[in-house]
Protein backbone atom coordinates (compact mmCIF):
# COMPACT_ATOMS: atom_id res chain seq x y z
CA UNK A 1 0.00 0.00 0.00
CA UNK A 2 1.40 3.41 -0.94
CA UNK A 3 2.29 5.91 1.76
CA UNK A 4 0.00 8.95 1.85
CA UNK A 5 2.82 11.24 3.03
CA UNK A 6 4.75 10.41 -0.16
CA UNK A 7 1.76 10.81 -2.49
CA UNK A 8 2.03 14.00 -4.56
CA UNK A 9 -1.72 13.91 -5.21
CA UNK A 10 -2.51 15.09 -1.67
CA UNK A 11 -0.91 18.47 -2.48
CA UNK A 12 -3.88 19.24 -4.73
CA UNK A 13 -6.63 18.50 -2.20
CA UNK A 14 -7.76 19.29 1.35
CA UNK A 15 -5.44 16.50 2.55
CA UNK A 16 -2.42 18.82 2.19
CA UNK A 17 -3.28 20.24 5.64
CA UNK A 18 -2.66 16.91 7.37
CA UNK A 19 0.60 16.46 9.25
CA UNK A 20 2.91 13.45 8.89
CA UNK A 21 1.40 11.50 11.80
CA UNK A 22 -2.10 12.04 10.41
CA UNK A 23 -0.98 10.92 6.95
CA UNK A 24 0.59 7.76 8.37
CA UNK A 25 -2.68 7.05 10.16
CA UNK A 26 -4.54 7.72 6.90
CA UNK A 27 -2.38 5.23 5.00
CA UNK A 28 -3.20 2.54 7.56
CA UNK A 29 -6.97 2.85 7.17
CA UNK A 30 -7.43 3.72 3.48
CA UNK A 31 -8.12 1.18 0.76
CA UNK A 32 -6.90 1.52 -2.82
CA UNK A 33 -9.07 0.59 -5.82
CA UNK A 34 -8.63 0.33 -9.58
CA UNK A 35 -11.71 1.57 -11.43
CA UNK A 36 -12.14 0.65 -15.09
CA UNK A 37 -13.44 3.07 -17.70
CA UNK A 38 -17.25 3.17 -17.54
CA UNK A 39 -17.43 1.71 -14.03
CA UNK A 40 -19.54 3.42 -11.37
CA UNK A 41 -17.66 4.62 -8.27
CA UNK A 42 -20.90 5.45 -6.47
CA UNK A 43 -24.50 6.09 -7.48
CA UNK A 44 -26.87 8.94 -6.68
CA UNK A 45 -28.75 8.16 -3.46
CA UNK A 46 -26.05 5.83 -2.13
CA UNK A 47 -24.55 6.20 1.34
CA UNK A 48 -20.78 5.96 0.92
CA UNK A 49 -19.55 6.48 4.52
CA UNK A 50 -16.28 8.12 3.54
CA UNK A 51 -14.50 10.05 0.81
CA UNK A 52 -12.59 9.04 -2.31
CA UNK A 53 -9.25 10.58 -3.25
CA UNK A 54 -8.57 10.45 -7.01
CA UNK A 55 -4.99 9.26 -7.41
CA UNK A 56 -5.15 9.01 -11.20
CA UNK A 57 -7.72 9.34 -13.97
CA UNK A 58 -10.87 11.36 -14.61
CA UNK A 59 -14.51 10.75 -13.75
CA UNK A 60 -17.79 12.53 -14.40
CA UNK A 61 -20.34 13.53 -11.77
CA UNK A 62 -23.87 13.14 -13.13
CA UNK A 63 -27.40 13.96 -11.98
CA UNK A 64 -30.41 11.98 -13.16
CA UNK A 65 -33.12 14.30 -14.50
CA UNK A 66 -36.88 13.60 -14.23
CA UNK A 67 -36.93 12.46 -17.89
CA UNK A 68 -34.38 9.74 -17.12
CA UNK A 69 -31.37 11.39 -18.76
CA UNK A 70 -28.05 11.87 -17.01
CA UNK A 71 -26.75 15.43 -16.90
CA UNK A 72 -23.01 15.92 -16.38
CA UNK A 73 -22.56 18.36 -13.51
CA UNK A 74 -18.77 18.32 -13.26
CA UNK A 75 -15.63 16.49 -14.29
CA UNK A 76 -13.24 15.39 -11.53
CA UNK A 77 -9.51 15.00 -12.09
CA UNK A 78 -6.44 13.63 -10.33
CA UNK A 79 -5.93 15.16 -6.89
CA UNK A 80 -9.58 15.93 -6.13
CA UNK A 81 -11.81 14.39 -3.48
CA UNK A 82 -15.25 12.85 -3.97
CA UNK A 83 -18.02 12.77 -1.37
CA UNK A 84 -17.02 15.70 0.85
CA UNK A 85 -20.44 17.36 0.85
CA UNK A 86 -22.21 14.10 1.64
CA UNK A 87 -19.77 13.42 4.46
CA UNK A 88 -20.42 16.75 6.18
CA UNK A 89 -24.18 16.87 5.59
CA UNK A 90 -24.50 13.22 6.69
CA UNK A 91 -26.72 12.52 3.67
CA UNK A 92 -26.58 10.09 0.73
CA UNK A 93 -24.65 11.38 -2.27
CA UNK A 94 -26.77 13.48 -4.64
CA UNK A 95 -24.66 12.69 -7.72
CA UNK A 96 -23.26 9.60 -9.42
CA UNK A 97 -19.53 9.25 -10.16
CA UNK A 98 -18.56 7.32 -13.29
CA UNK A 99 -15.03 6.75 -14.62
CA UNK A 100 -14.28 8.34 -18.01
CA UNK A 101 -11.00 6.40 -18.16
CA UNK A 102 -9.18 3.85 -16.05
CA UNK A 103 -8.69 5.31 -12.57
CA UNK A 104 -6.86 4.74 -9.30
CA UNK A 105 -8.78 5.92 -6.23
CA UNK A 106 -8.27 5.63 -2.49
CA UNK A 107 -11.24 5.31 -0.12
CA UNK A 108 -10.93 6.91 3.33
CA UNK A 109 -13.53 5.82 5.94
CA UNK A 110 -15.83 8.45 7.45
CA UNK A 111 -14.72 7.89 11.06
CA UNK A 112 -11.12 8.67 10.17
CA UNK A 113 -11.97 11.82 8.22
CA UNK A 114 -14.25 13.16 10.96
CA UNK A 115 -11.39 12.70 13.42
CA UNK A 116 -9.29 15.07 11.30
CA UNK A 117 -12.11 17.63 11.49
CA UNK A 118 -11.97 17.52 15.29
CA UNK A 119 -8.19 17.90 15.54
CA UNK A 120 -7.03 19.86 12.47
CA UNK A 121 -8.62 23.27 11.88
CA UNK A 122 -6.76 23.88 8.63
CA UNK A 123 -8.07 20.63 7.19
CA UNK A 124 -11.62 21.69 8.12
CA UNK A 125 -11.09 25.08 6.45
CA UNK A 126 -9.70 23.45 3.29
CA UNK A 127 -12.74 21.20 2.99
CA UNK A 128 -15.10 24.15 3.52
CA UNK A 129 -13.26 26.21 0.89
CA UNK A 130 -13.55 23.35 -1.59
CA UNK A 131 -17.30 23.02 -0.97
CA UNK A 132 -17.72 26.82 -1.28
CA UNK A 133 -15.84 26.66 -4.57
CA UNK A 134 -18.20 23.93 -5.78
CA UNK A 135 -21.19 26.13 -4.85
CA UNK A 136 -19.72 29.06 -6.78
CA UNK A 137 -19.20 26.83 -9.83
CA UNK A 138 -22.79 25.62 -9.54
CA UNK A 139 -24.04 29.23 -9.41
CA UNK A 140 -21.96 30.21 -12.45
CA UNK A 141 -23.14 27.12 -14.33
CA UNK A 142 -26.79 27.92 -13.56
CA UNK A 143 -26.39 31.50 -14.85
CA UNK A 144 -24.62 30.28 -18.01
CA UNK A 145 -27.36 27.75 -18.72
CA UNK A 146 -29.99 30.50 -18.37
CA UNK A 147 -28.25 33.34 -20.20
CA UNK A 148 -25.82 31.88 -22.75
CA UNK A 149 -26.75 30.30 -26.06
CA UNK A 150 -25.88 26.67 -26.78
CA UNK A 151 -23.21 27.90 -29.20
CA UNK A 152 -21.60 30.02 -26.47
CA UNK A 153 -21.79 27.15 -23.98
CA UNK A 154 -20.13 24.74 -26.41
CA UNK A 155 -17.23 27.14 -27.05
CA UNK A 156 -16.85 27.70 -23.30
CA UNK A 157 -16.89 23.95 -22.56
CA UNK A 158 -14.28 23.15 -25.23
CA UNK A 159 -11.99 25.82 -23.75
CA UNK A 160 -12.64 24.45 -20.25
CA UNK A 161 -11.63 20.94 -21.37
CA UNK A 162 -8.39 22.33 -22.83
CA UNK A 163 -7.53 24.55 -19.86
CA UNK A 164 -8.38 21.96 -17.20
CA UNK A 165 -7.17 18.70 -18.72
CA UNK A 166 -4.78 19.75 -21.49
CA UNK A 167 -4.10 18.11 -24.83
CA UNK A 168 -2.33 15.07 -26.26
CA UNK A 169 0.85 15.15 -28.37
CA UNK A 170 -1.30 15.24 -31.52
CA UNK A 171 -3.05 18.37 -30.13
CA UNK A 172 -6.35 16.58 -29.56
CA UNK A 173 -8.18 17.29 -26.31
CA UNK A 174 -6.94 14.90 -23.62
CA UNK A 175 -10.46 14.22 -22.37
CA UNK A 176 -12.43 12.43 -25.06
CA UNK A 177 -16.14 12.80 -24.45
CA UNK A 178 -18.81 11.14 -26.53
CA UNK A 179 -21.20 13.47 -28.35
CA UNK A 180 -23.87 12.47 -25.82
CA UNK A 181 -21.59 13.45 -22.93
CA UNK A 182 -20.63 16.75 -24.52
CA UNK A 183 -24.30 17.53 -25.19
CA UNK A 184 -25.06 16.68 -21.57
CA UNK A 185 -22.42 19.15 -20.36
CA UNK A 186 -23.83 22.04 -22.38
CA UNK A 187 -27.47 21.18 -21.80
CA UNK A 188 -28.72 20.42 -25.30
CA UNK A 189 -29.82 17.54 -27.51
CA UNK A 190 -27.10 15.32 -28.98
CA UNK A 191 -28.21 16.24 -32.51
CA UNK A 192 -27.78 19.96 -31.78
CA UNK A 193 -24.32 19.36 -30.33
CA UNK A 194 -23.25 17.36 -33.40
CA UNK A 195 -24.56 20.10 -35.70
CA UNK A 196 -22.73 22.83 -33.79
CA UNK A 197 -19.47 20.86 -33.81
CA UNK A 198 -19.82 20.50 -37.56
CA UNK A 199 -20.40 24.27 -37.86
CA UNK A 200 -17.31 24.99 -35.74
CA UNK A 201 -15.34 22.58 -37.93
CA UNK A 202 -16.45 24.32 -41.15
CA UNK A 203 -15.51 27.71 -39.69
CA UNK A 204 -12.01 26.44 -38.87
CA UNK A 205 -12.48 26.85 -35.11
CA UNK A 206 -11.92 23.16 -34.44
CA UNK A 207 -10.88 20.02 -36.30
CA UNK A 208 -12.75 16.75 -35.88
CA UNK A 209 -11.16 13.33 -36.14
CA UNK A 210 -13.71 10.73 -35.11
CA UNK A 211 -14.43 11.39 -31.42
CA UNK A 212 -11.26 13.44 -31.10
CA UNK A 213 -11.34 17.25 -31.19
CA UNK A 214 -8.53 19.73 -31.90
CA UNK A 215 -9.03 23.39 -31.02
CA UNK A 216 -7.68 25.38 -33.97
CA UNK A 217 -8.64 29.00 -33.20
CA UNK A 218 -8.57 29.65 -29.45
CA UNK A 219 -9.11 33.42 -29.76
CA UNK A 220 -12.28 33.09 -31.82
CA UNK A 221 -13.62 30.41 -29.48
CA UNK A 222 -13.00 32.79 -26.56
CA UNK A 223 -14.90 35.56 -28.34
CA UNK A 224 -17.85 33.22 -28.90
CA UNK A 225 -17.74 31.98 -25.29
CA UNK A 226 -17.71 35.55 -23.89
Q: How many CB atoms lie within 10 A of CB 88?
A: 15
Strand ordering across the sheet containing 40-42: 40-42, 96-99, 59-64, 70-76
8 pLDDT above the threshold of 60: no
- The confidence score (pLDDT) of residue 190 equals 94
Are 141 and 166 part of one and the same domain? no
Domains held by the chain: number = 2
User: What CATH number does the domain containing 31 carry?
Assistant: 2.60.120.10
Whether the predicted pLDDT of 1 surpasses 50: no
CB 159 within 8 A of CB 225: yes
Residue 30 shares a structural domain with residue 102: yes
More confident of the two residues 11 and 121: 121
- Tens-place pLDDT, residues 70-126: 889 999 998 888 998 888 888 999 999 999 999 999 998 998 888 888 888 888 888
**Percent of the chain whose pLDDT exceeds 70:** 94
Q: State mean pLDDT over 205-223.
A: 93
Distance CA 221, CA 215 (A): 9
Q: Do 110 and 10 belong together in one domain?
A: yes
- Same domain? For 206 and 120 the reply is no
Are 102 and 171 in the same domain?
no
DSSP 35-104: E-TT-EEE-TT---SEEEEEEE--EEEEEE-TTS-EEEEEEE-TT-EESHHHHHHTS--SSEEEESS-EE
Q: Is 1 exposed, middle or buried (0-12, 13-18, 19+ CB in 10 A)?
A: exposed
Residue 220 has pLDDT above 60, yes or no: yes
pLDDT at 9: 60
Domain boundary among 110, 145, 180: 145
Q: What is the pLDDT of residue 134?
A: 81
User: Of 61-75, 101-115, 188-202, which has the strongest mean pLDDT?
Assistant: 188-202
Q: Are residues 86 and 178 in the same domain?
A: no
Same domain, 89 and 197: no
Q: Do 182 and 137 belong to one domain?
A: no
Q: What pLDDT, on a 0 to 100 scale, did the predictor assign at position 70?
A: 84
Range of the domain at 216: 148-225
**Predicted confidence band of residue 166 (pLDDT cuts 50, 70, 90):** very high
Let me know whether 126 and 155 are in one domain.
no
Amino acid sequence: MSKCEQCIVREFSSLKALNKDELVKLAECKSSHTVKKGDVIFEEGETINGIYCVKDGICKLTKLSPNGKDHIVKLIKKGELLGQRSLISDEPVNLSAIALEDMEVCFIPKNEVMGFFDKNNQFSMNVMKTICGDLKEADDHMVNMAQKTVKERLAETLLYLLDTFGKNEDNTLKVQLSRDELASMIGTATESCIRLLSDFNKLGLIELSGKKIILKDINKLKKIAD
